[in-house]
């Protein structure tokens, strides 16, 4: 969560009357996390926000199903080769790797979401590899562009609108344990520290134009992996104002300020978002380590408690060969991993890492789906010989 924001009309104190110009009472909704102990937002509706008729869910991406267990090996999935599921992102998402904390996948949405969505299971973090558009939500619109991470808080009513004429290619993470900014980037009052790798100004925040009616009356809600349907008699986008710290945002990956040291820094320094059981790191173009005897390429390592996945976006990844934009590598805990043959030695004397990638370390083993197996690079494990 970021700092507190306030948009539109709010009462001058929590839980007291707010009335419109016509004298009509607004309806407060307290949108809280972690019971009532965590971050929260309080919004004001024109109408009661809890009026829904149970219906049938006509949309929703399929929960991941694990492929049969197989050998422990380094894996590489070429996601550009996935057969593109057309449609809105709510249907077009393809889960690839998952555990109880995180589902990772890609999506190539082609049309706007036709219904409203509230994900009751997880926060959503979507890396926009290609494309752009608008995240429309109860709390306002957030514009997003290529290279942005888009954050949607668990439970927030929203839908995605795509920029016309732009092809979309997203890498998404559904994070049950939440999406947070790592604690080490905050000071005691929660503000981002001056030595953090980004500042409050770097985030694209919601813009609330006021109540609107898009003539959409359907809502789908994910709970325990299943989508449930509701209908509403009126537009749910009736919020006149809100304040709080729970709201959607977008963050451009290139706004991340990378660290460089005399010798190679561990990925923790590239930590951008954290949640229970997951750390999301951004690798952005940067000068490399400058000790006269530095080896800029990442050292072989046994990160004994993490499975590591990397989504390669652009550029040349110093340590890996045979991966390109849209590749996802999966290096499991239990065995060490490291650079491809020759990369370690070849990096000596280099000055710049021209790479753009999103890495996620997860603390529980990942299962793979059949969709991922369809685009697996079968020679990846042996490419390290
Ligand atoms: Fe690694």
Q: pLDDT tens digits, residue range 48-88?
A: 999 999 999 999 999 999 999 999 999 999 999 998 768 99
Handedness of CA 16, 41, 250, 240 (dihedral sign): negative
- Residue 254, φ and ψ in degrees, nearest 5: -75, -5
Element (H, E) at 90: helix 89-92
Q: What's the pTM value of the predicted model, to 2 decimals?
A: 0.97
Show the tokens assigned to 228.
Answer: 């449930």
Rounded CA-CA distance 352/289 in Å is 9
For residue 202, the tally of other CB atoms under 10 A from its CB is: 17
Please tell me the least confidently modeled range out of 50-59, 246-255, 314-323, 340-349: 314-323
271 C-alpha to ligand 1 centroid (Å)? 13
310 C-alpha to ligand 1 centroid (Å)? 9
Cβ atoms of residues 207 and 140 within 8 Å? yes
193 C-alpha to ligand 1 centroid (Å)? 27
Element (H, E) at 346: helix 343-346
What per-residue confidence (pLDDT) applies to 86? 83
Is 84 or 365 the better-scoring residue by pLDDT?
Answer: 365
200 C-alpha to ligand 1 centroid (Å)? 29
For range 225-236, the mean pLDDT: 98
Element (H, E) at 344: helix 343-346
301 C-alpha to ligand 1 centroid (Å)? 6
344: left (phi over 0), alpha (psi -120 to 50) or beta: alpha
Name the residue with tokens 């299943």.
Answer: 226
47 C-alpha to ligand 1 centroid (Å)? 50
Residue among 159, 189, 170, 182 at smallest CA distance from 131 = 170
Cα angle at 150 between 149 and 153, to 5 degrees? 135
For range 165-177, the mean pLDDT: 96
Q: pLDDT tens, 139-155?
A: 999 999 999 999 999 99
298 C-alpha to ligand 1 centroid (Å)? 8
281 C-alpha to ligand 1 centroid (Å)? 11
Rounded CA-CA distance 254/355 in Å is 11
328 C-alpha to ligand 1 centroid (Å)? 13
Handedness of CA 294, 284, 122, 152 (dihedral sign): positive
What per-residue confidence (pLDDT) applies to 320? 76
Rounded CA-CA distance 318/18 in Å is 57
343 C-alpha to ligand 1 centroid (Å)? 14
360 C-alpha to ligand 1 centroid (Å)? 10
179 C-alpha to ligand 1 centroid (Å)? 21
- Residue 242, φ and ψ in degrees, nearest 5: -160, 160
For residue 204, the tally of other CB atoms under 10 A from its CB is: 18
What is the rounded average pLDDT for all residues in the chain? 96
What per-residue confidence (pLDDT) applies to 1? 86
Please compute, for residue 125, the number of CA atoms within 13 A of its CA located in the half-sphere on the CB side.
Answer: 28
Rounded CA-CA distance 103/119 in Å is 13
What per-residue confidence (pLDDT) applies to 171? 98
């Amino acid at each position: 969560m970021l700092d507190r924001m306030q948009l539109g009309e709010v009462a001058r104190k929590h839980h007291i009357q707010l009335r419109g110009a016509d004298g009509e009472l607004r309806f407060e909704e307290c949108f809280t996390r972690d019971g009532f102990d965590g971050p929260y937002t309080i919004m004001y509706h024109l109408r009661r926000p809890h009026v829904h008729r149970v219906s049938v869910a006509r949309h929703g991406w399929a929960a991941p199903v694990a492929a049969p267990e197989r050998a422990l090996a380094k894996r590489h999935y070429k996601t550009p080769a996935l057969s593109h599921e057309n449609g809105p992102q709510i249907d077009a998402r393809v889960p690839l790797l998952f555990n109880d904390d995180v589902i990772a996948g890609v999506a190539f949405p082609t049309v706007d979401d036709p219904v409203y969505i509230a994900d009751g299971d997880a926060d959503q973090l979507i890396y926009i590899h290609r494309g752009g558009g608008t995240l429309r939500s109860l709390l306002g619109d957030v514009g997003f562009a290529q290279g942005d991470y888009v954050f949607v808080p668990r439970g927030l009513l929203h839908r995605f609108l795509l920029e016309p004429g732009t092809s979309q290619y997203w890498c998404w993470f559904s994070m049950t344990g939440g999406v947070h900014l790592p604690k080490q980037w905050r000071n005691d009052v929660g503000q981002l520290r001056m030595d953090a790798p980004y500042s409050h100004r770097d985030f694209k925040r919601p813009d609330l134009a006021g109540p609107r009616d898009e003539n959409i009356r359907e809502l789908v809600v994910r709970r325990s992996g299943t989508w449930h349907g509701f209908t509403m008699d009126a537009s749910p986008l009736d919020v006149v104002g809100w304040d709080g710290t729970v709201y959607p945002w977008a963050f451009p990956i290139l706004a991340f300020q990378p660290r460089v040291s005399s010798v190679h820094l561990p990925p923790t320094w590239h930590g951008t978002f954290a949640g229970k059981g997951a750390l999301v790191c951004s690798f952005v173009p940067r000068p490399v380590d400058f000790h006269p005897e530095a080896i800029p390429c990442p050292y072989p390592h046994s990160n004994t408690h993490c499975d590591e996945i990397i989504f390669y976006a652009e550029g040349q990844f110093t340590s890996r060969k045979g991966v390109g934009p849209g590749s996802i590598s999966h290096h499991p805990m239990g065995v060490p991993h490291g650079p491809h043959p020759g990369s370690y030695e070849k990096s000596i004397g280099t000055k710049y890492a021209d790479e753009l990638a999103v890495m996620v370390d997860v603390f529980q083993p990942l299962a793979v789906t059949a969709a991922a197996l369809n685009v697996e690079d079968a020679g990846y494990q042996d490419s390290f010989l």
